[in-house]
């Protein structure tokens, strides 16, 4: 049976994973997958929608805490550390309700769509009402995030996060009661009531080895394994976490996770900043992924993680905007390379193709969507178009479009974002949310009120 295309796009230039191809006709099938992809189309076929510029697969934001967007700017006053920043972040979390979180996340996910992001991994831990009492629907907050992604037109993997303790052997503090289900079994029971639907997948997360006692790690890992779901964990972002883990358990966080069955190809360690040689070998040997969040890591003065060594060891790399100090996956991609240049005083650790692969295919795979992140027949019809005629990108050779996108373009150069064949961003405007800056202003203002 011949399946007829719903729609045809003509891509002036398309990044096909290894090179930039001029003149590509791309068909979208009913159901939102890519049908035929025809190169050598010098002019648009009749009826095709024209996308001028460089079209990439949709970008994957593999690590997000949507509410941190409300902190932008305000946390840049004064000095301090990750830990003083965290106190400020906790105060903002106190004001979230399912309604205010929906409004904020819808605006933040719309900002992501404007930046070419088609899929977000939301590392979600604000589960309960202030004080820790569950909402009438114990998943009201997670459902608000899923609804927000749908309203903004992007896909989400809700990485529902187990958060049980303030530190090794310490009960949650008063700020953390909202995050806490009491035990990993209670976490699993609550999360099991969430069902994947439409453009939303459900995954699991362990906040960190600080926040989930060692004897409960395996419960979370088993829940994810039984469902084939992605499992994410903040790993060794801070040396203080490593020191406390060594004192409590006589081993590093990576080793502790390995000993409790947490590592493996469905698992992604977020940050992976302060690792031993043995940790790197362990993450690589288990094919555990690494999600780098360079703009947050530099904002929080975390340090520079050993991403080159992790990848060489066998750990696939993905990227996330995490605290949303900025929402720009192109900036995350180039920052990974540029941080490594500063440290090593040599250039060229990753090619533009490799950086874009982290921002696309490998990021989507880390979120449980291996069918996204490629412009090829059968893949999800999710893509984004970067202008090659903006003040930042003008003059570039089109065949070097990948290098231009990664090393010169920014989120401001995103012209179009298409999810499942549907235009979410057209000519730089969000088709569903409309005025995204106003939506952000209102949502953030409501949290401050």
Question: Mind telling me the catalytic residues?
Answer: 271, 322
Query: Which residue number has the CB closest to Zn ion?
Result: 322
Min dist. Cβ of residue 333 to Zn ion (A): 18
Residues in contact with Zn ion, shown as a per-residue x/- string from 273 to 312 under the rule CB under 5 A = ----------------------------------------
Residue 211 CB, nearest approach to Zn ion (Å)? 12
Map the chain to HEC letters: CCCCCCEEEEEEEEECCCCEEEEEEEEECCCCEEEEEEECCCCCCCCCEEEEEEEEECEEEEEECHHHHHHCCHHHCCCCCHHHHHHHHHHHHHCCCHHHHHHHHHHHHHHHHHCCEEEEEEEECCCCCCCCCCCCCCCHHHHHHHHHHHHHCCEEEEEEEECCCCECCECCCHHHHHHCCCCHHHHHHHHHCCCCECCEEEEEEECCCCCCCHHHHHHHHHHHHHHCCCEEEEECCCHHHHHHHHHHHCCCHHHHHHHCCCCCCCEEEEECCCCCHHHHHHHHHCCCEEEECHHHHHHCCCCCCCHHHHHHHCCCEEECCECCCCCCHHHHHHHHHHHHHHHHCCCCCCCHHHHHHHHCHHHHHHCCCCCCCCCCCCCECCEEEECCCCCCCCCCCHHHHHHHHHHCCCHHHEEEEEECCEEEEECCEECCCECHHHHHHHHHHHHHC
Interactions with Zn ion, residue window 60-99 (CB under 5 A): none
Nearest residue (CB) to Zn ion, 75 versus 352: 75
Q: Is the Cβ of residue 238 or residue 385 nearer to Zn ion in the bound state?
A: 238
Q: Which is nearer to Zn ion, 59 or 292 (CB)?
A: 292
- Nearest distance in Å: CB 68, Zn ion: 8
Q: Which is nearer to Zn ion, 122 or 322 (CB)?
A: 322
Site for Zn ion in 306-365 (CB under 5 A): 322
In whole angstroms, the minimum distance from the beta carbon of 300 to Zn ion comes to 10
CB of 215 to Zn ion, least distance (A): 24
Complex with Zn ion: residue 125 or 187, whichever CB lies closer: 125
Binding site for Zn ion (CB under 5 A): 322
């Amino acid at each position: 049976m011949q399946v007829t295309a719903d729609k045809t796009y003509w891509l002036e230039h398309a990044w096909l994973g290894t090179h930039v191809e001029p003149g590509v006709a791309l068909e979208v099938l009913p159901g939102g997958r890519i049908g035929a992809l025809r190169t050598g189309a010098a002019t648009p076929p009749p009826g095709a929608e024209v996308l001028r510029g460089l079209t990439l697969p949709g970008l994957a934001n593999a690590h997000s805490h949507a509410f941190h967007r409300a902190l932008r700017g305000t946390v840049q006053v004064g000095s301090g550390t990750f830990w003083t920043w965290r106190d400020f972040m906790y105060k903002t979390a106190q004001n979230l309700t399912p309604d205010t979180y929906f409004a904020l996340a819808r605006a933040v996910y719309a900002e992501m769509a404007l930046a070419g992001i088609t899929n977000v991994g939301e590392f979600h831990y604000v589960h309960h009402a202030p004080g820790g009492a569950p909402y009438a629907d114990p998943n009201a907050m997670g459902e608000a995030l899923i609804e927000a992604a749908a309203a903004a037109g992007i896909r989400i993997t809700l990485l529902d996060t187990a958060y049980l303790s303030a530190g090794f052997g310490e009960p949650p503090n008063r700020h953390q009661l909202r995050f806490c289900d009491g035990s990993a079994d209670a976490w699993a029971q609550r999360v099991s009531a969430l069902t994947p639907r439409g453009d939303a997948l459900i995954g699991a997360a362990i906040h960190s080895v600080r926040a989930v006692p060692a004897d409960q790690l395996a419960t979370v890992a088993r829940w994810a394994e039984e469902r084939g779901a992605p499992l994410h964990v903040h790993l060794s972002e801070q040396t203080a976490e490593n020191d406390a883990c060594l004192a409590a358990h006589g081993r590093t966080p990576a080793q502790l996770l390995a000993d409790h069955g947490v590592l493996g190809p469905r698992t992604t360690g977020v940050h992976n900043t302060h690792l031993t040689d043995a940790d790197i070998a362990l993450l690589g040997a288990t094919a555990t992924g690494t999600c780098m969040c360079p703009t947050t890591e530099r904002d929080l003065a975390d340090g520079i993680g050993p991403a080159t060594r992790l990848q060489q060891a066998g750990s696939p790399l993905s990227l996330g905007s995490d605290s949303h100090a900025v929402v720009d996956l192109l900036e995350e991609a180039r920052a990974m390379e540029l941080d490594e240049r500063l440290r090593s005083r040599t250039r060229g650790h990753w090619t533009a193709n490799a950086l874009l692969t982290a921002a696309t295919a490998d990021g989507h795979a880390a979120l449980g969507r291996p069918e996204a992140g490629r412009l090829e027949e059968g893949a999800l019809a999710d893509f984004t178009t970067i202008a090659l005629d903006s003040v930042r990108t003008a003059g570039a050779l089109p065949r070097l479009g990948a290098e231009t996108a990664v090393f010169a373009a920014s989120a401001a150069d995103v012209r179009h974002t298409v999810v499942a064949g549907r235009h979410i961003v057209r000519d730089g405007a969000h088709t569903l949310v409309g005025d995204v800056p106003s939506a952000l202003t209102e949502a953030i203002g409501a949290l401050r009120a």
